[in-house]
Every structure is written in C-alpha cells, then in structure tokens.
Structure 1
Amino acid sequence: MDQEKLYTLLTREIANELTEAEAEELQQLLQQYPHASYIREIFMKPWQETGRPASTEQLSDMQARHLQRLHASDATPRVTTEGETPVVQLAKRRWWRAAGIAAGIALLIAVGWKFIPGRTTAPQPQKSLATAKGIRSQLLLPDGSRVWLNSGSKLNYPRSFAARGPRVVELEGEAFFEIATDANRPFRVQTKAFTILVLGTSFNVRAYPQEDSAVTSLVDGAIEVQLDKNGQQKVMLRPNEKLTIPSNLFTARDNEAAVTEEQRPAIHLYKQRLTQIRDSITSETAWVKNKLAFKHLELDKVSALLEQWYGVEISFRDQQKKQLYFTGVFETNNLDEVLEALASTGSFTYTKDEKGRIWIE
C-alpha cells in the first residue's frame, strides 16, 4: 500500500536511515501525495519529547504492526568503540521517539489527510514529455506555466496540480521555465542535483545526467536553490545570476549521512552573472530563441552542445584540441556551416566517417 510505504519512508528519513534507493522512492511518493510535504515539514522540525506515546492498543492495527517492526529493528544491540556513547542504553528512547513519529504520520495518512488544507485522496496522474537529440519542444503546464524543453531532456509533471500545496515537476536535462504566479502554490523543479523553489519568475535549468555540473540561471524574479533534500542549505539567486554546482550533490550528501557538518567537505558553488555575448543574447538562454550561443567555451563542451543541438556524434582524434576556446552565435539548421565557421580559425580540421560520425583533428 503506497500510503503505508510513504509513512514508513518518512519515519526512516527522520531517523536518518534512508538508503539512496529509498530516498528516490520517497521523492516519487511525495509527487503522488503532494500534501505529504506538509507532514514532512512538521516532523522534520527538532523533536521534543513530551511524555510517553500512546500504547499500541490505542493505535490502529496498521500502526501497531508498524511499531512492532520498528521495535524489532532496534532490538539487536550494536557494538560501540571506546569513547562512544553506548547505543544500547538509548535504544528504548529512540524506539519510543520513532514510534511516536510513525504513529503521528500514520494517523494523518490513515484519516485521509483530513487536517491538511487542499488535501487529495488519490495520487495525481503523471505525464511525461521527452525530447530526442536535435529536437526542442514547448509545453503549457496545467497551471498556465510555460516550459521550453531542450534536446535530450525529459520533464515529468502531473496532469493537474492540486488546488493547494506545491506544484512539483521533475527535470532531467535542460529547460526554460516561465512560471505562472500563485502565492498559495509555490512551484518546485526537482533535479538530481538540486531543487528550485519559486512563486513566479523565468529561469533556466541545465542538469544533464552525463555532465559533471548542473546550472540554474535566473532571468527574472527570484528563486531559491535547495542544495540538500531536507532544504536546510539554500542559495538565493537574483536576476541575471547563475549558480553552478556538482551534478551529483544530492547523492554525495546522502552517502555522507553519518558525517557531522564539521566533517563534511566544502561544497564548491559558483555564482556568476549571466554570460552576455552581444545585444540581449545570453549563452544560457539563447537556445529558447533557437540560437546556439557560447562564449569562451572549450571545444570539448562546444562539441557536446553540437551533439545535442544537431543529434550527431563528435569525437576527437587529437585530444589537445579539446582545450581550444571559442565564442559564437549561430542561427542555422546546417551543422556544416557551424563547423566550417569554427574551423576557419585554422585551429583544427574535421572529417566525417562512413557512419556520419564527425572527427576533430
């Protein structure tokens, strides 16, 4: 049952015991039950023990079974090393704490979200839009927000957003958003690198899984970039700013769950101004106007843009050519025109093999 699984995963998250696979499953369930985000926010606050929780006889049969499972999971003593606080002495307290959290979450879910504004009792049907390499697409979301989806990208979104509560979509790849303003329903874009929160604005997100960094660029309004799944670390962006972070940030921080904040390695963030090339053209958002633009970019990354833009494969016979830098703005469907313009600098040549692969020499 999805709801029972949901409060089980919420309980494990609060106890800091989620595995990477469980964290992904939890995000999917929160998409299906968006108002569970309210419950999550309530129980992620520092826990205050105010007394003994209700006994299992006072809980529903489903809750009682869940508490028994929690009790069984804490029953095995764990060995401690010198200097550590013996965890066996705290096991009973932790079990009652987890039991209380589980009971509270289960109670809210079991009664059908009765105490949550704008509740929904059924998962929101999901839709998906994917674009192949060389293809770009536009989409009007149910709330009136508009999305431009770049090539090789995928957007998951609900068929309709709940009357109240957050509007949530999932992105893999690159997209430009113009968000319809709704103060009662904040908009969230979830990627594998970060989560973006916004009320009404326009911004670009680039988070391809094969790239080593993810970038969000703000054109108008204001956005908040969450750097962890609990929303404890945030960065605010102003118009004409962009933020670059490691693309595996969420996964890396999950793997460091047992590490204290003092022991965590520093996160390398780069906040910069948008890259103006000429007139009002910025390299981060030019693709929305069907312009391919880049400024002082390595040929290695330029070739990746060309692969996505034209749906081709580009390889290097001379690896040193990857370090060449180029600036350009192109508005053409002819790849040869772009390659000829770049090669006219005399810094490299290119050929095509019988399979159509382009080789840079």
Structure 2
Amino acid sequence: MTSKKNFDKSRVRGLLLAYTGNNIPYADYNELMDYIQEAKHDAELYVFMEQVWNAQPVLQPFTDLESKVLYQQILSDKRFKEKPKNKVPVYKMWYGIAASLVLLTIAATLVYNYKGFFKEEEALLSKNVIKNDIPPGSPKAILTLGDGSRVELSQAGNDSLMKNSDHITKAADGQLVYGHSVKMASLRYNTIETPRGGQYQVILPDGTKVWLNNASRLKYPEGFAGQHKRMVELTGEAYFEVAHNKKQPFVVKTDKQDVEVLGTHFNINSYTEENETMTTLLEGAVKVIKKQDKDQQQSLTLVPGQQSVLMAGVLSVRAVDLEAVMAWKNGYFIFKDESLRSIMRKISRWYDVDVTYAGNVPDKSYEGTISRFKNVSELLRKFELTEGVHFKVEGRRITVMP
C-alpha cells in the first residue's frame, strides 16, 4: 500500500494517464489501484487524482446514467477479475476501487472558500447562459515567417509549411518543430502568436521547448548559430524548457524585464492587462533583470520554487505553489485565494469572450480547481453556487452581476 505522506505526484499522474489511454501494464495497474484505495482515506491524494482525471478532455460532464454504465464497465473489466497476490480478497478491494473510479470521473467540483463558508446545495444557472454556451480554447496559432507570409497552424500541414520554409515541420501531436540551428546569411525572425482561446507548442532551432498560453506572442530568430546570446521576445504567458548551452545564454525579453538562463525550466506571465509580471522557476536557475537605466539596474536570481514579481517598478521574490502556476499548461484552472476579477480575466482569454460588470459586484476571493476543457456554462455555474454573483451570456460577452 502506498504511503499517503509521501506520494509521487508525477508518478500518480503518469499512471492515471496510462489508464485513461488503456495502455497501462498490469504491474502499474496494481500500483494505481493502491493509490486509489489510499485516496479514499487521504484527502490530499484524492483531490490531486481528481484534478488529473478531470483535466482530460471531456466535452460533456457525466450524467447519472452514464456514471452507472461506467460503474458496470469497471466491474466487468477483465483486469478486476485477476486476483493479485498478497492482497485483500478481490471482491472487497475491486468493489471499493470501482466506486472510487466513478467518483474520480464525475465532473470537477470547484470548492469555494469565502469566509470559511462551503455551500453544498445545487443551483440553477440562468437559461440564457445554457442557450449561449461557449466551448473552451484549443490548440491554434498564427505563424508569421521572416518573409512576412502567415500560416494558420491549426489547419496547416507539412506540405503548406514546406512551401514557405524547408526546416519547419509539424509533429503528429501538432507542435511546431524547427530543424537544427543553422547560421543565416541575414538574421530573420519568426513570430508565433496564439489568439484568445488558443494555445500552442513549439520547439525552437536550439531544441528549446516552449508552451504558449492563450493571447500570447513569441518572436525568435530562425537560427541561433553565430549569436552571442539566444534571444527571444515574449508577450503574454509561456513555459520554457531551455536547451542547455553554457556558451550561449538564453534570454527572454518582455516589455518590463529580461530573464537570462543557460538551461532550465521556468514560466513567465507578462500579460499587458495584468499589474504584475511574474517569473516562476521550476528547475535550474534564472536571473531576472528589471528594465531601467543602467546606473539603477535591479536584478535577482531565483531558485526552484520561487517566483519573482515585478509590480509598480518594484522587483521582489516569493515562494509559490508550482502546481497552481503550471495549471494552465497541465489542462486545468487552479485558484488560490484569487479575486473574481482576476479569474474573469483568465476566463476572458481562454474562452475568447469579453467580460463586463453590472451593478455592485463584490470582489470575493475563491479557491478551487476545474478542468480547462469544460464549457463556460459549467465553470460559471460553479461560481453561482456561492451566491452573490450571477452571469449573463450574450454572444461572446459575459456580464457579471450581483
């Protein structure tokens, strides 16, 4: 049996993803079953597994009937009929596991914490929201090449890409891949831009992997060879896994700061509509440099688990919840004592909607988790459960009301 005090999140996530893809080995399957059994007694483990499960693309939540059918499918799965060695009687353990799995597949429950009050009753969302439902964002972006030509990546295949460039391909999973860095006669830049409601992945010429969040823009050269530094420019939010090269530092430039690294994993949030520019380090080390007069240059170095915050001209550092910061990349929203207006800005970018406010809407703080693959109606319904806030959807406009 796994220990609830020391479970490996990466391992649990991998086991769940293998199970949902129906390609999990029997030994790993038994390990997953142990985790699920433990989750019935460990709230932290249960919540984590629920987050991972609900982050998978599910277009519609499970109805009661679908849940019952799924329950029967789990019980009839041939793997449940194999009796593991040194385990409790199979009928007792598998029955509990099946019940746990059904709980994990139910649509994500967003728990709100406002002045310590948890509301359990269901509430009906206005019919207007249901009639004007809006699907979540999806992988899409526009690539602008050095010659000015533009390619819509969600529709383009390798044939159309090759017409414009002989060293750019589109992988089977949709990500944009550049060939090995070559020295150009003249430096040309490409730009990949995600719209609201879009996100995309790209592998740069040096092997650096970049995940672009919605409403973001990355400008980079077609090759880094012969340059003193590998410099790119970012607007919006992106997660970087930088290919190590001690001879060629990697620099991410934003409008208010530069981030310099040799090879590391980090996230930058630099949306112009936000008051803060945040750089979060997951692995390695980065140097964050505030843009200002050279005589007054301010910089700091982060260690894993730290986040720099540039706000009102002041650069500071704090410890953060890495899982919450990286939730967007992993397929879900995680709110940690976050204001309603901040949350609605995220909703606006991901669902490609405009948000307006009517009346005196209290700016409550919320905590909870929900999949980014849910339609907007389901997400808004979770907020209406807290009372004090309601929504009206007209076209691609959401009006927030008390």
Letter in 2 for 1:160: G
Tell whether the 8 Å contact from 1:164 to 1:184 is kept in structure 2 after alignment: no
Residue in structure 2 matched with residue 275 of structure 1 by the alignment: 321
* TM-score (ref. length: structure 1): 0.57
Residue in structure 2 matched with residue 125 of structure 1 by the alignment: 188
Correspondence list, 1:119-198, <5 A: 122-198=185-261
Residue in structure 2 matched with residue 293 of structure 1 by the alignment: 334
Query: SS state of the match for residue 330, structure 1?
Result: strand
Mark the CA change 1:345 to 1:141 in structure 2 (over 3 Å): closer, same or farther: same
**Unpaired runs of at least 5, structure 2:** 1-145, 147-182
Q: Does 1:213 align with 2:276?
A: yes
Partners of 1:180 and 1:145 lie apart in 2 by 5
Identity %: 30
Q: Does 1:237 align with 2:299?
A: no
Tell whether the 8 Å contact from 2:361 to 2:389 is kept in structure 1 after alignment: no
Query: SS state of the match for residue 287, structure 1?
Result: helix
Correspondence list, 1:33-72, <5 A: none
Q: Does 1:225 align with 2:288?
A: yes
| Deviation, structure 1 residue 309 | 1.2
| Deviation, structure 1 residue 319 | 4.0
Tell whether the 8 Å contact from 1:241 to 1:271 is kept in structure 2 after alignment: yes
Partners of 2:189 and 2:251 lie apart in 1 by 15
What RMSD over aligned residues (CA atoms) do the two structures have, in Å?
A: 2.0
Q: Deviations for 1:144-177, whole angstroms, at most 9, x for unmatched residues?
A: 0000001000000000102451100000110000
Query: SS state of the match for residue 303, structure 1?
Result: helix
Residue in structure 2 matched with residue 339 of structure 1 by the alignment: 380
For these two proteins, the number of residue pairs brought into alignment is 217
Partners of 1:184 and 1:356 lie apart in 2 by 48
Query: SS state of the match for residue 273, structure 2?
Result: coil
Correspondence list, 1:85-100, <5 A: none
Letter in 1 for 2:353: V
| Deviation, structure 1 residue 271 | 1.4
Correspondence list, 1:242-321, <5 A: 242-246=307-311, 267-275=313-321, 282-321=323-362
Q: Does 1:348 align with 2:389?
A: yes
Query: SS state of the match for residue 308, structure 1?
Result: helix
Partners of 1:351 and 1:232 lie apart in 2 by 47
| Deviation, structure 1 residue 121 | 8.7
Query: SS state of the match for residue 209, structure 1?
Result: coil
Query: SS state of the match for residue 176, structure 1?
Result: strand
Partners of 1:151 and 1:297 lie apart in 2 by 19
Tell whether the 8 Å contact from 1:225 to 1:235 is kept in structure 2 after alignment: yes
Query: SS state of the match for residue 341, structure 1?
Result: helix
Mark the CA change 1:356 to 1:156 in structure 2 (over 3 Å): closer, same or farther: closer
Residue in structure 2 matched with residue 360 of structure 1 by the alignment: 400
Q: Looking at both structures, which has the greater relative contact order when contacts are Cα pairs under 8 Å and sequence separation is at least 6?
A: 2
